[in-house]
Amino acid sequence: MLDVAPARQLVLDHARPKAAVELPSAECLGLTLAEDVASDADSPPFDRSMVDGYAIRGTDLSSGGAELTIVEEIMAGAVPRRTVAIGQCARIMTGAPIPPGADAVVMHERTELLSDSRVRIRDEKFRPGQNIMPRAASLRRGQIVLQAGCEIGPVEMGLLAEVGRARPRVIGPITAAVLSTGNELVPADRVPAEGQIRNSNGPMLAAALRRCGARPVELGIARDEPDELRRRLAEGLASDLLIISGGVSAGALDLVPGLLRELGVEEVFHKIRLKPGKPLWFGVRRGEAGSAQKNAAPTLVFGLPGNPVSSLVCFELFVKLALARLAGREAIAALAGTSAELTSEFVHRGDRPTFHPAVLSHASGQSPSVTPLRWAGSADLRGLAEANALAVFPAGDRTFAAGESLTVLPLGGP
């Protein structure tokens, strides 16, 4: 059996970032930018008002107040038609261009309208240039606003729109097929008969993929019957990743490894020194010689254990790693563990490192702390639901004292 660290390295060794593609920006949320993006214009493109009020010449307010003649009204999106001279002002709305001659804006709340053409202004806190956002204060034409390698979130989507990049180049979206196997499984909307259970792994893994920015292809449930299972596995190999839940242990109906070999998938490793998650299987299906797919990126195949906690732990440790590499996020392609102090004594027994469901806390002014949860084992998904982290206990029989430092793997996130 492999240890966790060398097994993770093997996953990295067999994964590579997807090719860059040009996509409409509306389809890029959660993807990784594959190019630097520069602004095609100054932002704002003109000196603009930051408030509703009056654009004035500062010299008219040298004593803190004045009565001025209103020469025009400037709405957002309009172009000023008049120059503001001494004793004059322009009514202006937020976002509108500052008219020639004006060098400050007084907000509406500090004014009194005397007539349609006259206004009294009183602003004892006046300062030159107030309430004006100068041209290019946010962005300059040619300035790099987003760098290759950044993940595109809502703010990045807004920036792409602001600089006119409607079709950025991104690392292509990752597709990941999810297949649950087992004669005992039924969909969530079915009442299980005797000897059956509902398929919780499929929805859980699909949700975990979505949270990581991948696009799940849900293949449902495959029975432990060679022809059906072979057909469904072949369907899943059309995706960037194929994630199989169950069928990789050593039972009579654990058919997945043999069928994958028949379909041209090379086994990289099988079984990890890990609890829960020992039966993990990982392989690669490369493009066949002479085929159109010869130079295509390989399909990465993960055979996860059927117990739900084992499946999720293997997803967090191995599948996430592959997703990060495929998405071009090298900065997070590592075990994002942290250190935390045990809140109470804990007794660990076992010959494998254990990733135990736990609660990680960050109290203000204190070191992070971790509390292992009551947990009935790899089938106890309810116990995992209360966890926000996995506490890592090294192999061996040992009592860990309160205050000892442990490695902790936060759950969730990309």
3-state secondary structure 228-264: HHHHHHHHHCCCCEEEEECCCCCCCCCCHHHHHHHCC
**pLDDT, position 317:** 94
pLDDT at 151 over 60: yes
Domain 48-133 belongs in CATH node 2.170.190.11: yes
**Residue boundaries of the structural domains of the chain:** 4-18+174-332, 34-41+139-171, 48-133, 338-410
Percentage of residues in the chain having pLDDT higher than 90: 82
- The Cα-based distances of 376 to 382, 400, 411 in angstroms read 9, 19, 19
Residue 323 burial (C-beta neighbours within 10 Å; 0-12, 13-18, 19+): buried
pLDDT band of 285, cuts 50, 70, 90: very high
Rounded Cα distance between 384 and 13, Å, is: 30
Q: What is the mean pLDDT of residues 218-241?
A: 95
DSSP letter string, 353-389: -EEEEEEEE--TTS--EEEEPP---TT-HHHHHT-SE
**pLDDT, position 364:** 81
Rounded Cα distance between 155 and 121, Å, is: 38
In DSSP terms, which residues pair with 113 in a beta bridge? 119
Side-chain half-sphere exposure of 382, counting CA atoms within 13 A: 2
**pLDDT, position 328:** 87
Among 90-99, 217-226, 283-292, 341-350, the least confident range: 283-292
pLDDT at 409 over 50: yes
Helix (H, G, I), strand (E, B) or coil at 9: helix
**pLDDT, position 248:** 83
Of residues 253 and 64, more confidently modeled: 64
Helix (H, G, I), strand (E, B) or coil at 409: strand
pLDDT at 140 over 90: yes
Name which CATH class applies to 4-18+174-332.
alpha beta
Helix (H, G, I), strand (E, B) or coil at 267: strand
**pLDDT, position 333:** 44
> Is 182 in contact with 249 (CB distance < 8 Å)?
no
pLDDT in tens, 16-55: 989 999 999 999 998 999 999 999 999 999 999 999 999 9
- The tokens of 343 are what? 């809140």
pLDDT band of 292, cuts 50, 70, 90: very low
- Number of C-beta neighbours around residue 132 at 10 A: 19
Global pTM value:
0.80
The runs of H, that is alpha helices, within 83-223 are 154-162, 201-211
Among 211-225, 251-265, 341-355, the least confident range: 251-265
In DSSP terms, which residues pair with 115 in a beta bridge? 118
Q: What is the mean pLDDT of the chain?
A: 92
Write the DSSP symbol of residue 164: T
Rounded Cα distance between 406 and 316, Å, is: 18
Strands 405-410 and 389-393: what pairing?
antiparallel
pLDDT in tens, 388-399: 999 999 999 999
Strands 185-186 and 197-198: what pairing?
parallel
- Number of C-beta neighbours around residue 329 at 10 A: 19
Among 223-227, 351-355, 380-384, the least confident range: 380-384
Q: What is the mean pLDDT of residues 123-135?
A: 93
Residue 373 burial (C-beta neighbours within 10 Å; 0-12, 13-18, 19+): middle
- The tokens of 62 are what? 């040298």
- The Cα-based distances of 274 to 3, 11, 246, 327 in angstroms read 7, 16, 17, 26
- Number of C-beta neighbours around residue 279 at 10 A: 24
- Number of C-beta neighbours around residue 110 at 10 A: 16
Q: What is the mean pLDDT of residues 172-201?
A: 94
> Is 41 in contact with 154 (CB distance < 8 Å)?
no
Of residues 249 and 283, more confidently modeled: 283
Return the CATH number of the domain spanning residue range 338-410: 2.40.340.10
- Number of C-beta neighbours around residue 191 at 10 A: 7
pLDDT at 302 over 90: yes
pLDDT in tens, 251-278: 555 789 999 999 999 999 999 999 999 9
Rounded Cα distance between 350 and 375, Å, is: 15
pLDDT band of 206, cuts 50, 70, 90: very high
- Number of C-beta neighbours around residue 213 at 10 A: 20
Rounded Cα distance between 260 and 301, Å, is: 9
Backbone angles phi, psi at 252, to 5 degrees: -65, -30
